[in-house]
Amino acid sequence: MRATDEVAAAPGIHVQGIKKSFGTQVVLDGVDLEVPRGHITVVIGRSGTGKSVLLKHVMGLLRPDAGTIRVGDDDLATLGPRALRQVRFRFGMVFQHAALFDSMDVYENVAFPLREHGFKTAAGQRKMREPEIKARVEEMLGAVGLTGVGAKGVSELSGGMRKRVGLARALVRDPEFLLYDEPTTGLDPIMTAQIDNLIRGTQDRNPGITSLVISHDMAATFRIADHVAMLYEGRVRLYGTPEEFRHTDDPVVRQFVEGRLDGPITV
Ligand SMILES: Nc1ncnc2c1ncn2[C@@H]1O[C@H](COP(=O)(O)OP(=O)(O)O)[C@@H](O)[C@H]1O
Ligand SMILES: [Mg+2]
């Protein structure tokens, strides 16, 4: 594990001025976002405001019409497909619907990235042998509170267990960057709180990680965020600490903070 000052000095994710339209629909209209290393940054916004589109730019799955995205020391625009794939290896991704393979048991789901891509080392990727894979998968299942469920089928799991398996799979290759796209959507409040604790706990146990969480749940955001950015009409309306969000005078942001997310924003 790195020393804390070294973590703070290393670059996280830096988004500057990105614009993206699909046809005539402008989705991102000059988004600036700082995602500092060693912290959790939560991007909030109503459904359809471009949160997932933003995340896809960070992963290099979409190219912006304008602007720059830096991941660590890499400017994504300058990278070819091969280098971009290397950057993507540094990410762990937790999807909204967990996206597990139904045909595999829990163990194989978590082992999948190791079998597919090997384990990263300072020298690059390397293949892992079966006993090493087993030890790593068991360690990850333990970390998400699922010791002993490796042999279960995906269909036997509750929604919350699926999310935890998804998190174990995202963590298994020891990523530098963790991206979560609405990790608790569709879960009950107790499960939501457990997943939030897991996200926060994962960050706190791995201070070198940089976490970017997409959410439209303000209560969850307050539980886990170090920094918050609210996406609104194609731009970041407010970036700040949870405290700053609690105390803002901005009426658009206030509606979010007060939990009136689904009606029209009226100002
Ligand atoms: N590949 C695409 N092609 C065309 N339109 C897209 C594409 N991806 C997203 N959009 C549109 O961009 C807008 C923002 O989508 P999204 O980022 O998924 O919103 P959310 O904030 O809910 O994650 C939506 O209107 C969506 O229909
Ligand atoms: Mg989305």
Measured from the alpha carbon of residue 22, the closest ligand is: 1
β-bridge partners, 40 = 211
Per-residue model confidence (pLDDT) at position 2? 47
Distance, CA of 252 to CA of 267 (rounded, Å):
7
Tens of pLDDT, residues 147-205? 999 999 999 998 888 988 998 999 888 899 999 999 888 778 888 888 898 899 889 98
Per-residue model confidence (pLDDT) at position 234? 97
**Ligand 1 contact via 220 beta carbon (within 6 Å):** no
Give the strand pairing for 13-22 and 66-71: antiparallel
pTM: 0.89
Return the percentage of the chain with pLDDT > 90, whole number: 60
Q: How confident is the model at residue 260 (pLDDT cuts 50, 70, 90)?
A: low
**Ligand 1 contact via 52 beta carbon (within 6 Å):** yes
Residue 93 structure tokens: 């991704």
Distance, CA of 128 to CA of 110 (rounded, Å):
14
Per-residue model confidence (pLDDT) at position 223? 92
In ligand 1, which atom is closest to the CA atom of 182?
A: 23
Tens of pLDDT, residues 55-105? 999 999 999 999 999 999 999 999 999 999 888 888 998 877 668 898 999
Which of 20, 51, 52 maximizes ligand 1 atoms within 8 Å of its Cβ, making it the mutation to test the pocket?
A: 52
Residues 6+ apart with CB under 8 A from 100: 109, 154, 162, 165, 166, 169
Per-residue model confidence (pLDDT) at position 228? 97
Residue 52 in this model has a pLDDT that exceeds 80: yes
Residue 133 in this model has a pLDDT that exceeds 60: yes
**Ligand 1 contact via 22 beta carbon (within 6 Å):** yes
Q: Quick count: other Cβ atoms within 10 Å of Cβ 244?
A: 13
Q: How confident is the model at residue 37 (pLDDT cuts 50, 70, 90)?
A: very high
Residues within 5 Å of ion ligand 2 by Cβ? Answer: 51-52
- Alpha-carbon dihedral angle through residues 126, 130, 133, 137, given to the nearest 10 degrees: 160
Tens of pLDDT, residues 191-214? 888 889 889 988 998 888 999 999
Pair 230, 265: CB distance under 8 Å: no
Q: How confident is the model at residue 127 (pLDDT cuts 50, 70, 90)?
A: confident
Which of 18, 21, 27, 230 maximizes ligand 1 atoms within 8 Å of its Cβ, making it the mutation to test the pocket?
A: 27
Tens of pLDDT, residues 229-240? 999 999 999 999
> Using CA positions, which residue lies closest to atom 18 of ligand 1?
52
**Ligand 1 contact via 51 beta carbon (within 6 Å):** yes
Span from the CA of 12 to the centroid of ligand 1 (angstroms): 25
Per-residue model confidence (pLDDT) at position 126? 76
What average pLDDT score do residues 119-125 get?
68
Residue 40 in this model has a pLDDT that exceeds 90: yes
Handedness of CA 121, 122, 126, 132 (dihedral sign): negative
Residue 266 in this model has a pLDDT that exceeds 50: yes
Structure-model confidence comparison of residues 8 and 74, the more confident one: 74
